Amino acid sequence: MSLPHAILTALLEKPSSGLELARRFDRSIGYFWSASHQQIYRELGKLERDGLIRERPTDAPTRGQRKEYEVLPAGREELERWVDTREDPKVARDPLPLRLRAAGVVGVRGLVPELRRHRDLHLLRLEEYRGFERRDYPDGPRSEQERVQRLVLLGGIDMEAGWVSWLSRAIEELEKAD
């Protein structure tokens, strides 16, 4: 996934200003694709220069007003092209498994408390995701868009549950060795 495609997706869901878009990233998209506010603004400029988005026309004077962006037909075509692109899975780049492997060489030392901390953080995120599902889909998805968005959320739930399971197993295994 790339930031331009994440922005095009978000803008097709709802035309937004850069600030609104950054806030939406902080609240939703950022759970699986993070970007700083600077990166978002820089990418908005590129997308506009490339003719994929534009500032929405307004009757109000623009001085002091936030620019609100919308996706142009070329932007929608780019997103459709990207959705249909074949891509191999990417390797997750979390340093914790690498740190655990390094502990096999230099000794576990103080790693178990760090594994517990990570497990607890993943448990919190898992409960947060489950809360989103209860709040947003109490009776299941009501539209195609909600069905797909819920699938992304369910993927997050499964990944967090996987982390919790693996970390619990690692902690148990390392505590046996003590």
Q: What is the pLDDT of residues 107-165, one digit of tens each?
A: 988 899 999 999 999 999 999 999 999 999 999 999 999 999 999 999 999 999 999 99
pLDDT given at position 64: 62
What CATH number is associated with residue 62? Answer: 1.10.10.10
Per-residue pLDDT band for 43 (boundaries 50, 70, 90) equals very high
Task: Inform me whether the pLDDT recorded for 173 exceeds 80.
Answer: yes
- The residues facing 68 across adjacent strands are 17
Q: Average of pLDDT values for 39-43?
A: 93
Residue 34 included in any domain: yes
Asked which of 55, 83, 111 is the last residue of a domain, the reply is 83
Residues 75 and 100 reside in one and the same domain? no
pLDDT given at position 59: 67
Residue 44 included in any domain: yes
Stated pTM of the model: 0.81
pLDDT given at position 91: 82
The Cα 169–Cα 100 span in angstroms is 13
pLDDT given at position 109: 86
Nearest to 72 by CA among 2, 17, 12, 5: 12
The Cα 158–Cα 152 span in angstroms is 10
Residues 110 and 146 reside in one and the same domain? yes
The Cα 119–Cα 122 span in angstroms is 5
> Which residue is listed with tokens 């506010």?
37
**Domain extent at residue 78:** 3-83
At 36, which amino acid appears?
S
The Cα 70–Cα 12 span in angstroms is 7
pLDDT given at position 30: 76
Asked which of 38, 62, 83 is the last residue of a domain, the reply is 83
Per-residue pLDDT band for 96 (boundaries 50, 70, 90) equals very high
pLDDT given at position 92: 80
Per-residue pLDDT band for 99 (boundaries 50, 70, 90) equals very high
Task: Inform me whether the pLDDT recorded for 1 exceeds 60.
Answer: no
At 4, which amino acid appears?
P
pLDDT given at position 25: 84
Q: What is the pLDDT of residues 44-95, one digit of tens each?
A: 999 999 999 999 887 666 666 788 999 999 999 999 999 999 998 888 888 9
Residues 100 and 142 reside in one and the same domain? yes
